[in-house]
Chains A and B, each alone.
Chain A
Amino acid sequence: MVASSVASVVVVGGGIAGVSTVTELRKNGYAGGLTLLTADPFPYDRPPLSKAYLSGAKDLESIALQAPEWYAGQRIDVIRGLAAALDPAAGTVTLSDGRQLSADRIVLATGGWPLWPDIERVVRGLLDRPPAGSGIPRSTTGIHLLRSAEDADGLRAVLLPGARLLVVGAGLIGAEVTSTARKLGCEVVLVDPANPPIAAAVGAQVAEWLHSLHALHGAETVTATVEKVESTNAGVVAQIAGEASPRTFDAVLLAVGMVPDTAMAKEAGLDVDNGVVVDDHQVTSHPTVLAVGDCARRQGHRRAEHWEAAVHDGARAAATILGVDAPAASAPWFWTDRYDLHVEVVGEMHEPEGEHEQVVRGTLGEPPFTVFTLRGERVVGAVAVDDPKAVRAARRMIDRGVDVRAADLADPSTDLRQLLRSAR
């Protein structure tokens, strides 16, 4: 058991960052009071919201981050409610219903909101970012956002065979929903001004191929912006830039990114700059308040919005509270699934310029394959499609800084594990 001087911790937010924080605290011997505040019925995993949960293949219970009895067994009080105010000096969080929680350390894991695109809209009754868990539907007019299970429920209700869906934004969420909706028999138009989208994350070659899958599976892709969205009695009318006439859809999904939920932190006087600013230990500008996950940004770093980054934030925050060293950092990693393909990305996918070189293992576009980015003889990033061992090897190559030859990586007969071994 760890002898921590911190007697009590309140974690505000039941997403993966919040649950990781409490999980890591208990796993590493924290014996003090532990409270998890969540706006949702219980903490659940968000990646399935655009895939298995959206399609109906999984229900909410099956995507719970921990079984309900786990929290009781770990002596974690799970409280459902909305945090309304934070007082760092007093160590209190006040809920929207007036209840107050107090603790020696408060961990903000408030996540974020879907970003509203800059589209002219005439939407009767559409509420601007009502809080998740408030019971206020965000999709009453055929215009949908996707962040919570409640959002996914609203979207799923309209994804009937033949339904016309406009997806604005071809990033990870937009692409996954397009794939899910096509599987459900919807007609989908996917609009994004980038060509190809997500090139910065996976490199232009893979991005182009991934984007081409939409058309291959019957979705229409349009490289443009959406100028106007209007909810009418006949459906949602959208004007796509460059098109002569507006088109009518049964539903529109706005999936153009997210903004960190920092309002409470800002009102409490914490430093906020595209996220609650934290140091390398997840500590905010007030020493008793920490922040993790999508709502936080480590000073000197870009704000990460991925699942595993939130897990690592939780582990770092727990280590800080326990007064022990944080786990070793690893290369950033995320996954996405579309059209029954599993795509994993690790490290940074720099374009081949200057010292960077890209190497394809296998044949690009014929899964399984992996594209590695090297700087000199060091792997700095990899994108793998249905090639899990290659991406796991790549991650270790990045973490360990081993030297490899491009020709060896490119040869599918090369045992990547052997490459790692020989480089030790």
Chain B
Amino acid sequence: MTAHSGNGGDSTGIRVASVDDIPEGEGIAISSDITGTDDDIAILRKEDGTCWALNDTCTHETASLAEGWVEGDDVECPLHSSTFNLRTGKVDGLPATRDTVAHRVEVRDGEVYLFPGERP
């Protein structure tokens, strides 16, 4: 699933999706064209409804974390099941050995705002 909109980056962040667009336990990928970052960014929604953001590409092999399985505080890569902490980007399970980057996300009035490059 990919994002459909963006409104440019400023102190209010980039509006990237409505929360309801992201099923609990799943994610969407926001294009680097929108985020202005080197990598696409995955917006991942935990089962408690909160949203988190990580660089989208698994640090092990090219796979989209937005297609991964979100459970607890981790997202599990769809290819080889490397796991990354949603809050920190730290790798929690092999085969990936390098951390990924976590970005700040805010949800306001049911809309998800992304702050690329800002730590959660």
B4-12, B75-83, B105-113: which lies at the interface: B75-83
B40 at the binding interface (Cβ < 8 Å)? no
A45 at the interface (CB under 8 A from B): yes
Chain B's closest residue to A23 (CB) is B94
How many A-B residue pairs have C-beta atoms within 8 angstroms? Tell me: 38
Residue of B nearest to A335 (CB): B80
A388 and B67 within 8 A (CB):
yes
Checking A16, A65, A389, A417 against B78 with a beta-carbon cut-off of 8 angstroms, the contacting residue is A389
Partner of B97, one of A65, A335, A388, A389: A65
Tell me if A67 counts as interface (CB < 8 A to partner B).
Answer: yes
Q: Is there contact, CB below 8 Å, between B94 and A16? A: yes
Whether, in the assembled complex, B25 has its beta carbon less than 8 Å from a beta carbon of chain A, the answer is yes
In this complex, which of B67, B79, B95 has the most chain A Cβ atoms within 10 angstroms of its Cβ? B95
Question: Which chain A residues numbered 23 to 56 have a C-beta less than 8 Å away from chain B?
Answer: 23, 45, 52
Whether A67 pairs with B97 at a CB distance below 8 angstroms is yes
Contact with A along B82-120 (1 / 0, CB 8 A): 000000000000110110000000000000000000000
Are A70 and B76 closer than 8 Å at their CB atoms?
Answer: no
The answer to whether the Cβ of A342 comes within 8 Å of any Cβ in the partner chain is yes
B98 CB contact (under 8 Å) in A23, A67, A308, A417: A67
Q: Is A375 an interface residue (CB 8 A)?
A: no
B79, A388: Cβ atoms closer than 8 Å: yes
**A311 CB–B CB distance under 8 Å:** yes
Given A45, A342, A417, which contacts B95 in the complex, CB threshold below 8 Å?
A45
Binary flags per residue of B5-25, CB closer than 8 Å to A gives 1, else 0 = 000000000000000000111
On whether the beta carbons of A333 and B81 are closer than 8 Å, the reply is: yes
Distance from A67 Cβ to chain B, minimum over Cβ atoms (Å): 7
The docked-state distance in angstroms from the alpha carbon of A417 to that of B47 is 10
Residues of the B chain whose Cβ atoms lie less than 8 Å from the Cβ of A70: 97
Tell me how far the C-beta of B66 lies from the nearest C-beta in chain A, rounded to whole angstroms.
Answer: 12
Interface positions of B from 53 to 88, Cβ below 8 Å from A: 61, 67-69, 76, 78-81
| CB neighbours of B26 from chain A (8 A) | 417
A20 within 8 A of B: yes
For window 325-346 of A, CB contacts with B under 8 Å fall at 333, 335, 342
Q: Is the CB of A392 within 8 A of B69?
A: yes
Inside 8 A of B23's CB, which chain A residues have their CB? Answer: 415, 417
Tell me if A417 and B79 are in contact (CB < 8 A): no
Contact A389 B69 (CB under 8 A): yes
Chain B residues with CB below 8 A from A225, complex form: none
A131: shortest Cβ distance to chain B, in Å? 25
Q: Is A66 an interface residue (CB 8 A)?
A: yes
Q: How far is the CB of A31 from chain B (nearest CB, A)?
A: 21
Chain B positions within 8 Å of A335 at CB level? 79-80
Q: Which residue of A lies closest to B79 (CB)?
A: A342
- B residues with a Cβ closer than 8 A to A are 23-26, 61, 67-69, 76, 78-81, 94-95, 97-98
- Known A65-B94, A417-B23; further 11 A-B contacts with Cβ < 8 A: A16-B95, A70-B97, A307-B95, A311-B94, A388-B67, A388-B78, A389-B69, A392-B81, A415-B23, A417-B24, A417-B25
Residues of chain A whose beta carbon lies under 8 Å from any beta carbon of chain B: 16, 20, 23, 45, 52, 65-67, 70, 307-308, 311, 333, 335, 342, 388-389, 392-393, 415, 417
Q: List 21 A-B contacts (CB under 8 A).
A: A16-B94, A20-B94, A45-B95, A52-B61, A65-B94, A65-B95, A65-B97, A67-B97, A70-B97, A307-B95, A333-B81, A335-B79, A388-B69, A388-B78, A388-B79, A389-B67, A389-B78, A392-B76, A393-B69, A417-B23, A417-B26
